[in-house]
Amino acid sequence: MFMPEKTTDALRTAIDQALQANRPRLAKYLSIETVAAKHLGIEETVSVIEQSFQELGAEVTVWRDIPGSNPFVFATLPAGPNGNADKTLLFYNHYDVQPAEPLDEWESDPFTLTEKNGQYVARGVSDDKGELMVRLSAVKALQNTTGLPCNLKFILEGEEEVGSPHIAPMTKKHGADLAADAVVWETGGKDADENFQVTCGVKGTASFNVTAKSAESDLHSSLAAFVDNAVWRLVQGLATLRGPKGEVLVDGFYDGVKPLTPTEQAAIDQLSFNEAATRQNFGLKLPFISDKPAEALINRSTITINGISGGYEGDGLKTVLPKQARAQLDCRLVPGQDPEHISELVQAQLDKNGFSDLHVSYNQGEPAFRSDLTDTFVQTAVATAHEVYGDAVKLVPNAGGSGPEAPFAETVGAPIVSVGSTWAGSGAHAPNENVRVKDFTQAARYTAQLLQNFGQA
Ligand SMILES: [Zn+2]
């Protein structure tokens, strides 16, 4: 389905100018080491955002009323005189970034915006600071040309990279402020085959620890003749939870999972998956545990041992019988699975399998969310993508990763789509994180065009 790009020359020019004018602001925003995990740079970052919105004429409020949370920034802009004042679109972004480590793998300073080979390089340029600047540039360009086609709201959080622990209380408290007809989420862009993705949800997660304790002190390993040990108990117990093809052997684990709708199945079937490139990129040594990897990424729940520790594994020998062991696990979940309940089911299964000495403790999690793919706004987002990106567009039912969409969906009750400016080599969370400058420009055009089509729809 190819549709000619409707972006007028005047709007294109205004977008280029706005992106150019915003470059120093982008550099400033990226120069702050806003690492939520280290509690760095929060206030300085918040004031850069506040100022950016004020310069667009937005009404900005910084919410500091959620105990223990980094501030949320909330901004609103009314539709222009020719716009549709009955329609409101809410953007979600986050201002925190991942730690830059390992620093010696960066080819330039992670907190200095560097332009090289047609790319912008810096921590946060793809995830997710750059994207806010793309969106603000689109807003500026619309203000300078046609005016805003609809009302806009922006919500920014500062804890996305540490699991968004305060999104749920924030959406509960500020549900009325957040009211909107549609939500545009952070992240997204082009896949490995250069298809622009319109992604309509996220997988959920449940993170938990499993611990084993078999004695009050470590013992001489000669006593293994009659004393069992924590490390064996842990690995034997964990081994009962998953089959060789990744199937989760926990009673009730899949209860509540709904079959894919025909529209979801059709969307999955048109996704491309490059097995050879995936194998090569990661140097994979084992066969896949699914013969439908594209579908599995979207709709298969998993259980993963993230790490395991116990006993002695240093230099030389230590013939010890360890008293304790510990593993961290996560499950990636699909709609219909409740994170905390999943960890309870794991404990129940271990008990049933004869491992009641193993103790499961829930860390944190988020439920999955998927928008209705037949929703008008989803259709508008896809049609707009065709206008800007031509044929190379994919509708993705949900991302393989997670994010706090479910509490938004519950409060706002509107469809959510993720669209962005990244590409397959952006390296979010990794050294030399980057975006391609041309993708930035295209994403700003997409954003402006989406707002126009949404305002008119
Ligand atoms: Zn991230």
Q: Give the Å distance between the CA of 260 and the centre of ligand 1.
A: 28
Q: Give the Å distance between the CA of 399 and the centre of ligand 1.
A: 13
Neighbours of 20 (CB within 10 A): 10
Q: Give the Å distance between the CA of 335 and the centre of ligand 1.
A: 21
Q: Give the Å distance between the CA of 97 and the centre of ligand 1.
A: 7
With residue 219 as reference, give the H or E element that holds it: strand 219-220
- What span, in angstroms and rounded, lies between the C-alpha atoms of 158 and 93? 9
- What span, in angstroms and rounded, lies between the C-alpha atoms of 242 and 248? 5
Query: What is the CA angle 75-78-82, rounded to 5?
Result: 150
With residue 23 as reference, give the H or E element that holds it: helix 9-31
Q: Give the Å distance between the CA of 150 and the centre of ligand 1.
A: 29
Fold classification of 204-265+292-366 (topology level): Alpha-Beta Plaits (3.30.70)
Cis before 109? omega within 30: no
Q: Give the Å distance between the CA of 131 and the centre of ligand 1.
A: 12
Tokens of 227: 């004393």
Length of the chain: 457
Instruction: Describe the chain by its helix, strand, coil percentages, rounded to 5.
Output: 35, 25, 40
Strands 196-199 and 393-396, by their bridges, are: parallel
Written as one letter, the residue type at 47 is S
Q: Give the Å distance between the CA of 430 and the centre of ligand 1.
A: 10
Residues 92 and 394: beta-carbon distance below 8 Å: no
pLDDT means over runs of 10, the chain (457 residues): 66 97 98 91 97 98 97 98 97 96 96 97 97 98 97 97 93 97 96 94 97 97 97 98 97 96 96 89 93 96 97 94 98 97 98 98 96 97 97 96 94 97 93 97 98 95
Q: Give the Å distance between the CA of 432 and the centre of ligand 1.
A: 14
Q: Give the Å distance between the CA of 421 and the centre of ligand 1.
A: 14
Q: Give the Å distance between the CA of 94 and the centre of ligand 1.
A: 9
Out of 3.30.470.20, 3.90.110.10, 3.40.1710.10, 3.40.630.10, which CATH number does the structure's domain 9-202+369-456 have?
3.40.630.10
Q: Give the Å distance between the CA of 401 and the centre of ligand 1.
A: 10
Q: Give the Å distance between the CA of 144 and the centre of ligand 1.
A: 32
Q: In angstroms, how far is CA 237 from the centroid of its own chain?
A: 31
Residue among 66, 179, 152 at smallest CA distance from 408: 179
Domain regions of the chain by residue span: 9-202+369-456, 204-265+292-366
Q: Give the Å distance between the CA of 188 and the centre of ligand 1.
A: 11
Q: Give the Å distance between the CA of 126 and the centre of ligand 1.
A: 9
Q: Give the Å distance between the CA of 124 and the centre of ligand 1.
A: 8
Q: What is the pLDDT of residue 6?
A: 65
Strand, helix or coil for residue 363: strand
Strand, helix or coil for residue 447: helix
Q: Give the Å distance between the CA of 79 and the centre of ligand 1.
A: 31
DSSP string, 191-213: -TT--EEEE-EEBEEEEEEEEEE
Three-state SS across 28-85? HHHHCCCEHHHCCCHHHHHHHHHHHHHHCCCEEEEECCCCCCCCEEEEEECCCCCCEE
Q: Give the Å distance between the CA of 320 and the centre of ligand 1.
A: 40
Q: Give the Å distance between the CA of 162 and the centre of ligand 1.
A: 9
Q: Give the Å distance between the CA of 372 and the centre of ligand 1.
A: 25
Q: What are phi and psi of 152, to 5 degrees?
A: -125, 145
Residue 368 DSSP class? -
Q: What is the pLDDT of residue 2?
A: 47
